[in-house]
């Protein structure tokens, strides 16, 4: 179930990256025209990468959230895995994938990875609204 509250936030447990992207799109639609098409694309790409990584490598998404705080969008993804995100070694083109995490780190102004008390982790990406 997805909930969008009057404080401009969304909290859900999406089963797909598409559901998470729809939540971000819906949240940011309230900020038009303040949100540029380029920013929307970046926010959707960060959302896709974080949620897809949780689904592929961490056993699924336990919590997804997005909120506008001041002039920043905060995207949060929680999963049950303690494993930290990694990038593919740049000198090993034979290993598929590994490009999403560096992309998230480039697009977001700040990215934090925090362990959760009961196991798993929370990844939070902050993107300045533009």
* Digitized pLDDT (tens) for each residue of the chain, 130 residues in all: 444 443 457 777 778 899 999 999 999 988 766 788 899 999 999 999 999 999 998 999 999 999 998 889 999 999 999 999 877 666 666 666 677 899 999 999 999 999 999 999 999 999 998 6
In the chain, the DSSP E strands lie at 3-5, 9-12, 61-69, 72-79, 110-115, 121-128
Percent helix, strand, coil in the chain, to 5, is 30, 30, 40
Q: Report the distance separating Cα 108 and Cα 90, nearest Å.
A: 21
Q: Which domains does the chain have, with CATH numbers?
A: 3-87+97-128 (3.30.565.10)
pTM (2 d.p.): 0.86
């Amino acid at each position: 179930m997805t909930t969008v509250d009057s404080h401009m936030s969304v909290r859900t447990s999406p089963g797909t990256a598409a559901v998470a992207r729809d939540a971000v799109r819906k949240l940011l639609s309230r900020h038009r025209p303040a949100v540029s098409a380029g920013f929307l694309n970046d926010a959707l790409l960060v959302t896709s990468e974080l949620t897809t990584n949780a689904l592929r490598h961490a056993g699924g998404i336990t919590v997804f959230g997005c909120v506008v705080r001041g002039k920043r969008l905060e995207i949060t993804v929680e999963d049950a895995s303690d494993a930290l995100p990694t990038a593919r070694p740049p000198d090993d083109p034979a290993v598929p994938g590994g490009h999403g995490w560096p992309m998230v780190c480039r697009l977001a102004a700040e990215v934090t990875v925090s362990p959760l008390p009961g196991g798993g982790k929370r990844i939070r990406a902050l993107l300045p609204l533009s």
